[in-house]
Amino acid sequence: MKARNLTKETVLNHAVAERTFPTFNVGDTIQVSQTFKEGDKERSQMFEGDVIAMHKNGIATTFTVRRIGANGIGVEKIFPFYSPTVSDVKLMKSGKVRRAKLFYVRDRLGKAAKIKERILTKSEKALSAKKPAAATTEAA
């Protein structure tokens, strides 16, 4: 099923509800909870890393998360924003970046690959907690 052929009205017919994730942008460190079905059991797996890209394309919106795995190997996953398998997203910390895509991080190792943390004020924290991310993706 290609998500590009779907409109916002037909998404509700495919059992995908409105997303109430916190607002996150490129450079932020997030923790994505993804559910997997293995036979008759269902389990949840967490993936924590930095958001290096966001592709805002209506219902086909995706975001790429990168983390450093075992032995210093970089692992990237592309998550569909409106997928029913993505059950929860937690914002761990906000990053201070000046680019829309952080693909240059792939070539860096160690401290050079770190993203500086943006310190949020109390009003910014309250605003990001109240506003869901679905509202920001519709505007773009």
Distance of CA 127 to the CA centre of its chain: 18
- Cβ atoms within 10 A of the Cβ of 131, count? 12
**pTM, entire model:** 0.75
Per DSSP, the three-state class of 116 is: coil
- Among 39-53, 82-96, 121-135, the minimum mean pLDDT is found in 121-135
Q: What is the pLDDT at residue 123?
A: 84
DSSP β-bridge partners for residue 136: none
DSSP state of 1: -
Determine, yes or no, domain membership for 121.
no
Tens of pLDDT, residues 66-75: 999 888 889 9
Determine, yes or no, domain membership for 133.
no
Rounded mean pLDDT of 81-86?
Answer: 89
Tens of pLDDT, residues 104-136: 999 998 889 889 998 878 887 777 666 666 555
Instruction: State the chain's mean pLDDT as an integer.
Output: 84
| Structural domains of the chain, count | 1
Q: How is the chain split among helix, strand and coil, in percent rounded to 5? A: 30, 35, 35
Q: What is the CATH number of the domain that holds 91?
A: 2.30.30.790
Domain that holds residue 78: 1-16+25-107
Q: Is 18 left (phi over 0), alpha (psi -120 to 50) or beta?
A: beta
Q: What percent of the chain has pLDDT over 90?
A: 47
DSSP state of 117: B
Determine, yes or no, domain membership for 112.
no
CA terminus-to-terminus distance, the chain: 23
Q: 86 or 139: which carries more pLDDT confidence?
A: 86
